[in-house]
Amino acid sequence: MNASKTLLGTVIGTLLLLGSSQAMAVTTLKLSHNHNRDHAVHKAMSEMAKEVREKTSGEVVIRIYPDAQLGSQRESMELMQNGALDMVKSNAAELESFGAAYSVFNLPYLFRDKEHLFKVEEGDIGREILNSTKVSGFVGLTYYDAGARSLYAKKPISSPSDLKGMKIRVQPSPSAIAMVKALGGNPTPLAYGELYTALQQGVVDAAENNIPSFSLSRHSEVAKFFSLDEHTMVPDVLVVSTKTLDKLTPDQQQVLYTAATNSSELMKKLWAQSEAQERASAEKAGVTFSNVDKTPFVDAVQPMYVDIKQNNPQLDAMVERIKGVK
């Protein structure tokens, strides 16, 4: 009898433990990005992770790996496609090679101002672009403000003629490469993590990025002239594997999408603060920021749009739709 009671107690205990472990089953999502923990986008995504954890009662946990711990943006994208990562914070330039629709964000001087960009991102066009990579095994959750990209170098750049013969680091984006060629420079695709040393050693003469990335990556130590030509406004993009999404319940998916959207709104505020703070920091380090006449830059890249109109009707239609957003 005692043996029976002991056996019954063991069975009940085991079942209770199993039930408890199932009830407490946790889905952990690994998210990779290439910025440090002080960057505004890391702070925004940390808030997203906090919201997801709270709203799912701890059933979904996002673990963030900053500083390219798991590889460059390109490597992280490939890891995600292979199932080793769930989410990646990339940007529209990097994503152009995975989804052609992202190329519109890399076209110079297409967006009139930041408000125009936000309206496109938050409307039908923006959602179409985020969903355009389903066939590649991932979709976009949201965009993150990444300001305007401008040129910086060891010498002042005030017009396209100053770029003649200069090796300029670009992201691996066909549009970014075409833009630098149109401006008269020699485009040099290079991983972001290699750029400081490349500038320091003269492997490249210049680069282009937003102010916070320029400052927080300490490029201000090796490039003392920042020309505010503001040629593009390339957003960061948070993407997730479709396999990962399919593992989540519909409610969990909705929580993830909502938290991502909320973090995007937070990012706009954090970005404005970061931009002002990092410009002041760079100026203190001896960097000269120069406003330039954008007209010669705008004129120099117009052949890109002529080429698009003649050879890429699908992209041309998207460009015209974007121009029509008021």
Residue-number span of the structural domain to which 31 is assigned: 26-146+235-278
Q: Which of 91, 90, 96 is nearest to 312 (CA)?
A: 96
Same domain, yes or no, for 290 and 314? Answer: yes
pTM score, two decimals?
A: 0.86
Same domain, yes or no, for 171 and 121? Answer: no
What are the residues whose beta carbons fall under 8 Å from the beta carbon of 32, sequence distance 6 or more? 65, 68, 69, 70, 71, 76, 79, 80, 85, 87, 88, 89
Same domain, yes or no, for 223 and 79? Answer: no
Same domain, yes or no, for 129 and 77? Answer: yes
Same domain, yes or no, for 170 and 316? Answer: yes
Count how many domains the chain has: 2
Q: Could you give the 3-state DSSP secondary structure of residue 268?
A: helix
Cα(160)–Cα(184) distance, integer angstroms: 6
Kindly give the confidence (pLDDT) of every residue in the chain, 326 residues in length, as a single tens digit, with 9 standing for 90 and above.
Answer: 445 445 444 434 444 444 444 455 899 999 999 988 989 999 999 999 999 999 999 999 999 999 999 998 889 999 999 999 999 999 998 899 899 999 999 999 999 999 999 999 999 999 999 999 999 999 999 999 999 999 999 999 999 999 999 999 998 888 899 999 999 999 999 988 899 999 999 999 999 999 999 999 999 999 999 999 999 999 999 999 999 999 999 999 999 999 999 999 999 999 999 999 999 999 999 999 999 999 999 999 999 999 999 999 999 999 999 999 99
Structural Rg of the chain based on CA atoms: 23
Please tell me the number of Cα atoms within 13 Å of 318 on its side-chain side.
Answer: 19
Domain assignment of residue 193, yes or no: yes
Same domain, yes or no, for 200 and 52? Answer: no
